[in-house]
Structure 1
Amino acid sequence: MSTASITSDEVLSILNDLLENSRDGEYGFRACADEVEDAQIKQVFANRSAQCAAAAAELATLIRSLGGEADKGGSVSGALHRGWVHVKGTLGADSALSMLEECERGEDSAVARYRKALKNDLPAEVLAVVQRQADGAQRNHDQIRDLRDQYKARKG
């Protein structure tokens, strides 16, 4: 944790980065849910999309409560990820496994963004939200990783 306090503009920038991250997750998981055939994995992806949407809504509310303006969309890399998911989905074969692997990469990125945010000296009310969401991102990453491993074992 840094000893220097950060400006409100820096706090808002960090929160908007996490908001973009959450929206990327929402759209990416929704794209995976639309593409994958496996019912269990489809449900996991749909649930993850809803959780990311809830996290994004919470961040947007927090940003507005701090006097900021919540960014509107996701990122270019998130759009590329969704395009990749669509291509993988149309290829068939082990598309569920490929999507789980890609979702794990997305969750790796989400966990890293939260860790980066937590290195800042955030105000207490912001820190509480970011820490809770970071813990959730780690749980989600682990769930996707475990599902990927189970799917590999079933197919292998």
Structure 2
Amino acid sequence: MRTTLEKARQKTNENNIDVLQAIIEKNYDARKGYRKAMMDIQDPELKSFMQQQALVRSSFTTAIDQEIRNLGETPIENGSVTATLHRTWIDIKSRIADNADDIIIEEIIRGEKAKVKEYKGALKNNLLAPETHNLLQSQLKSIKNTLKEVKQL
């Protein structure tokens, strides 16, 4: 028979896994989005920025992947179908626009704002282990900085 403490730890562990699986999926999507933007964008400086952000998101997924494995679970390995459809929509939109770079930047801002909201929700609404909380807090800070940078572009 398990103690109350053991049950609480198991519940926290399961909750951490659920939160991390959702977040890793979004980071796969972000990484793919930045890679796609890097291919489509014309401005060399923006292209470099997109490449850098794709690498940052790769590091996010690696860290979350390891955290999920440390919790005894196998991480998901792909992004969402919704994000794939969204990238296709951006493709169509940017092909018919006068300035595709502007459309891509607008969509990146929108995506980063959504990620800030998701991370904040995960941190606020869940009982997370300190390691998980610190990991997500650090990534949230990085996403906020990226959002500031993109807005200045």
Stretches of structure 1 lacking an aligned partner (at least 5 in a row): 148-156
1:154 corresponding residue in structure 2:
none
Q: Is 1:36–1:89's contact at 8 Å kept on the other side of the alignment?
A: no
Aligned amino acid, residue 122 of structure 1: L
Answer yes or no: is the 8 Å Cα contact 2:17–2:68 preserved in 1: yes
Match of 1:72 in 2: 77
Matched, 1:142 2:148: yes
60, 63, 85: which one aligns with 1:55: 60
Contact 1:28 1:81 in 2 (8 A): no
Cα distance in 2 for partners of 1:12, 1:55 equals 15
Unaligned runs of 5+ in 2: 1-7
- What residue is the counterpart of 1:101 in the other structure? 106
Find the counterpart in structure 1 of residue 135 from structure 2.
129
Larger Rg: 2
TM-score (norm 1): 0.86
Are 2:116 and 2:140, in contact at CA under 8 Å, matched by a contact in 1?
yes
CA positional deviation for 1:90? 2.6
**Letter in structure 1 aligned against 2:143:** A
Distance 1:42 1:85 in 2: 16
Cα deviation for residue 92 of structure 1 reads 5.0
Which residue in 2 is equivalent to 1:152? none
Q: Does the Cα contact within 8 Å between 1:88 and 1:99 map onto a contact in 2?
A: no
Per-residue CA distance 1:83-138 (angstroms, 9 max, x = gap):
12322343352100000000101101111110011112211111111100011111
Quote the residue 1:8 is aligned against: 13
* Distance across 1 between alignment mates of 2:99 and 2:45: 15
Report SS of the residue matched to 1:27.
helix
Counterpart for residue 110 of structure 1: 115
TM-score by length of 2: 0.88
* Deviations 1:56-107, CA, capped at 9 Å, x for gaps: 1110011001101101110122112211232234335210000000010110
Residue 37 of structure 1 aligns with which residue? 42
Does the 8 Å CA contact 1:114/1:134 hold for their aligned counterparts? yes
Q: 1:37 to 1:92 in 2, by over 3 A?
A: farther
State percent identity of aligned pairs: 26
Task: Give the aligned CA root-mean-square deviation in angstroms.
Answer: 1.5
Aligned letter for 1:133?
Q
Residues 32 and 85 in structure 1, CA contact (< 8 A), matched pair in contact too? no
List, as ranges, runs of 4+ consecutive aligned residues in structure 1 with deviation greater than 4 Å: none
Instruction: Report the 3-state secondary structure (helix = DSSP H, G, I; strand = E; otherwise coil) of the residue aligned with 2:103.
Output: helix
